[in-house]
Amino acid sequence: MNSCIILICKLISIISKNLNLGNGSTWPGHIALKINKNFIKELIDSNRQLKVIIIAGTNGKTTTSSLIANIISDNGSKVLQNMSGANLLNGIASTLLLNSNINGEISAKFAIFEIDENSLSIILQFIIPHQLIFLNLFRDQLDRYGEVNSIAKKWSTTLENISSNTKIILNADDPRIAWLGMSIFIKNHAINDKSEKKIFYFGLDNPKLSIDLLQHASDSTYCPRCETKLNYKTIYYSHIGNWNCSKCNLKRPDLDTSTSLIYPLNGIYNQYNTNAAVLSAKILGIESKKINSTLKKFKPAFGRQEVIIIEGKKIQLFLSKNPTSMNQSLSTIRDLGGKHILFVLNNQIPDGRDISWIWDVDFEIYLNDSMNIYTSGDRCYDMSLRLKYLQPNIGNIITNKNIKNTIKILLNKIPDNEIIYILPTYSAMLEVRKILTGKKIL
């Protein structure tokens, strides 16, 4: 039965690619699951050598997935992974079938899946992961996901039934994420009483990187146990930092990993992604020397600080899809001395229809009148209106709804030795890359 499904779906993927309709990363899986709802579970169960690593979180999933995949591959093991945007059940099914032969045999030893926040509970019904990594939890697409507490409660309920064979890796500096592991330990103390450790924490321990105040886009600033306002010894960004509760004495758990010799990408948020990947690799038994060798040559995933050269000019993409990711993108660009910034704001289904989040971004901190600001995309006028509230502290804002025309204007105006920084939402990033490379991603 599954052999027929695999054959049919592989043909669908080939047709999709040949017609330049995308990489066929979701439709084959959608069809496979329509025919057999247990397709994922059956395929994984029949390939017992396959170790699955699942990565969940609002920001950083694609970068962390790519880091882990590169480290494992460089260590000699074959890896398969789903693409960003193919992070629902159909994307997982597609990834598995496209990486198997007609008999359903998968040669890879590891499968790395980044998972949509809302879909984690569903996917864990079909997959028992070897590792489950939680990066962070921020406001994102409130019209679709709801507040962070809603997602956190779903994840907490799901983890109550997690397999004892799964190793859980959590961001200790995010109070809600840390509490997922701490509450598991409290409810089932035996989970860490066995000879093999099951719960691990990563974070940062560098006070030099601390900021003075919580940013406007801070979501989890109350104790996850008693709901008292948290204190912070250090704040790295948003609500992420070394936290503690003065009422119930809950505090950030001890860190298993807090630093890396090499950080291949700019920005504090990418230090977290790197630390998560390093901890994952160490738990797999990969030596630090081999990890660092991979980090030295790592190239960013598409849209995540990816650099594209067009007409001899450098364009760098910073996916910015919610207040926290936008703040971190702007902070990094400011530190890099960026002068030419294009915001591309869409409100298509992958982005979320509600774009009110742009009013929670701390543009006032990161933009100044020495920068050339452009806006484009479906909701470019909303973005321009938001930015006009910064004037006279920033210069003129050039607005053009047509993304292709806007990029052309920038390429004509910007000197060869300067960089164009583009900050798109998710669907906008796909559009920008198609314009720049002539190819669709999905």
- Domain spans of the chain, in order of start: 2-297, 304-437
Whether the pLDDT of residue 421 is over 90: the answer is yes
Confidence of residue 18 (pLDDT cuts 50, 70, 90): low
- Give the per-residue pLDDT at 8: 77
Token pair belonging to 9: 């779906």
Arithmetic mean of pLDDT, 67-72: 98
Nearest CA to 111 out of 162, 159, 77 is that of 77
Nearest CA to 225 out of 256, 253, 194 is that of 253
> Tokens 């030893």 identify what position?
109
Q: Where are the beta strands (DSSP E) in 76-149?
A: 79-81, 110-115, 131-134
What are the strands of the beta sheet with 131-134, ordered from one edge? 79-81, 110-115, 51-56, 131-134, 167-171, 199-202
- Give the per-residue pLDDT at 191: 47
Confidence of residue 28 (pLDDT cuts 50, 70, 90): confident
- Give the per-residue pLDDT at 441: 45
Token pair belonging to 40: 């994922």
Residue pair 135/287 in contact (Cβ under 8 Å)? The answer is no
- Give the per-residue pLDDT at 437: 87
Q: What is the pTM of this model?
A: 0.91
* Cα distance between residue 239 and residue 320, in whole Å: 18
Asked which of 6-15, 103-112, 376-385, 395-404 is least confident by mean pLDDT, the reply is: 6-15
Q: Which helix (H) or strand (E) holds 44?
A: helix 39-45
Residue pair 240/138 in contact (Cβ under 8 Å)? The answer is no
Asked which of 24-38, 152-166, 338-352, 392-406 is least confident by mean pLDDT, the reply is: 24-38
Asked which of 26-35, 40-49, 274-283 is least confident by mean pLDDT, the reply is: 26-35
* Count of residues in the chain: 442
Confidence of residue 68 (pLDDT cuts 50, 70, 90): very high
Arithmetic mean of pLDDT, 113-142: 89
Q: Is the peptide bond before 207 cis (omega within 30 degrees of 0)?
A: no
- The mean pLDDT of the chain is 90
Portion of the chain with pLDDT greater than 70, in percent: 91
Backbone angles phi, psi at 175, to 5 degrees: -55, -45
Three-state SS at 75: coil
Confidence of residue 192 (pLDDT cuts 50, 70, 90): very low
- Give the per-residue pLDDT at 23: 55
Arithmetic mean of pLDDT, 344-372: 93
The terminus-to-terminus CA distance of the chain in angstroms comes to 27
- Give the per-residue pLDDT at 146: 54
Token pair belonging to 64: 């962390």
- Give the per-residue pLDDT at 197: 84
Whether the pLDDT of residue 313 is over 60: the answer is yes
Pairing outcome for strands 131-134 and 199-202: unpaired
Which residues, other chains included, contact 11 with Cβ-Cβ below 8 Å and sequence gap of 6+?
none
Backbone angles phi, psi at 247, to 5 degrees: -90, -55
Confidence of residue 416 (pLDDT cuts 50, 70, 90): confident
Whether the pLDDT of residue 358 is over 80: the answer is yes
Whether the pLDDT of residue 302 is over 80: the answer is no
- Give the per-residue pLDDT at 22: 55
Helix 89-98, helix 2-18: angle, nearest 10? 90
- Among the four given CATH numbers 3.40.1190.10, 3.30.365.10, 3.40.50.2020, 3.90.25.10, the one describing domain 2-297: 3.40.1190.10
304-437 belongs to CATH 3.40.1280.10: no
Asked which of 27-31, 130-134, 188-192, 259-263 is least confident by mean pLDDT, the reply is: 188-192
